[in-house]
Amino acid sequence: DFERNGLPMQFKTPDSGLAFGSWAPMSCEDHLVGTTGEVGMLCLGGAHIFGKCLDKQTCLEIEEYPTAGSIGTALICIVAALIVVVGAVLALLVWRRRQRETKVVAPYKMEQKMRHFVTQGIQVEDMGPPPPVTNSEDTQTDVQIYAEFVRGSQRPLDLIFCIDSSFSVGPENFQKSVRFLQHVLCDLEMPTVRVGIIRFHHEVAIISPLTAERQDLESRLEHMAYEPGETNLASPLRQAGFMLHEQGSAPDSAEAPVLYGRGSSDRKKAIVVVSDGDPRDADEALREAEELKRHGVVLLFVQVGVLVRPAIACGLASTPSDEYVIQLRGYDELAGASEHVLRRILEVFLWVRRAEWRV
């Protein structure tokens, strides 16, 4: 007999009794209400109880698991959030790209408040200056001009090519020079650009006078043959200057002719020399080159191979020499150099694709 929580409790021996020295297992729940576990009763000159009974624990309420519907709703929300983030990132990239493509022109003061859009491309030179500024404080306004530019047409150019036909070139490499000229012609806008061709060694041959007829040039190129000789450069430079002078000034101009220069037609003049060796007449060629440059003619040299001395070409070419002297390791690289040549001698109009005046 004992007490539990102030209440009398009692363990009972089995109905069959318990012999001396024996024991019997007993369930706690059968003898102690609200407990669990097992104890043992041992008979040794009296009943001895061993073991332990524990109070029953009530299970906590199980949390409700999310249903399939709530999981689907959460997934939809996550996907929608990702779409919004990706869309925002793409919009930001497009905006930054448009900002880089748009050139901003410095603000001007204009006569009156205005907002004007140019929707059709016009040449920059044709836009004219902004209206004059008035002294009236009521009408004087700071205006910002935003303009988006695109590539326009090529500016007028007279271009003479001098092609080396000396012994060191050889017939195979000479044909590579011909293919180089054919590549260049494909990228020129005629009749805006006029082209003449000279073949030189110790003698000079005019393959084509200065012309804007593409088909005539292509036909003359196909029939240009290789003729070996020594490398003299003064004579072809002098001949190229005469060709530029003959068609460089307008025939009806009242002004005196301008030797070699742009003249009244404001056409740029340029000479491109393709050679694989140093000229034998370097001093005389230098005098001719200086005369040409003094009158505004651009001289560009394409040096092919390792037998040339860069210092000579740098003295003959226009400045800066690192821009107007192109060095190639061999004639196999010549066709691919056409883009570099044109980039240095061609001038291109910038056209206004769209402009906006903001007051």
- Indicate the helix (H) or strand (E) that contains 112: none
What is residue 247's predicted lDDT score, i.e. its pLDDT? 64
Residue 55 CB neighbour total at 10 angstroms: 12
> Which segments within 140-267 are labelled E, that is strand?
141-154, 157-164, 193-200, 204-211
Residue with tokens 């290789």: 226
Alpha-carbon span 102 to 90, nearest angstrom: 19
Q: 280 and 167 in contact (C-beta within 8 Å)?
A: no
What is residue 356's predicted lDDT score, i.e. its pLDDT? 73
Q: Please name which of 241, 246, 161 lies closest in space to residue 199, comparing C-alpha atoms.
A: 161
First to last CA, the chain: 105
What is residue 73's predicted lDDT score, i.e. its pLDDT? 80
Per-residue pLDDT tens, the chain, 359 aa: give them. Answer: 656 666 666 767 777 777 777 777 777 777 777 777 777 776 766 777 766 677 766 544 444 545 556 677 888 888 888 898 888 888 888 887 776 654 444 333 333 333 333 334 444 444 455 555 455 555 455 667 777 777 788 899 999 999 999 999 999 999 999 999 999 999 999 999 999 999 999 999 999 999 999 999 999 999 999 999 999 999 999 999 999 987 654 333 333 333 444 444 578 999 999 999 899 999 999 999 999 999 899 999 999 988 788 889 999 999 998 899 999 999 999 988 988 999 999 888 877 777 776 66
Alpha-carbon separation of residue 155 from 19, 151, 219, 345, 349 (angstroms): 127, 12, 25, 10, 6
What is residue 223's predicted lDDT score, i.e. its pLDDT? 92
Alpha-carbon span 344 to 338, nearest angstrom: 10
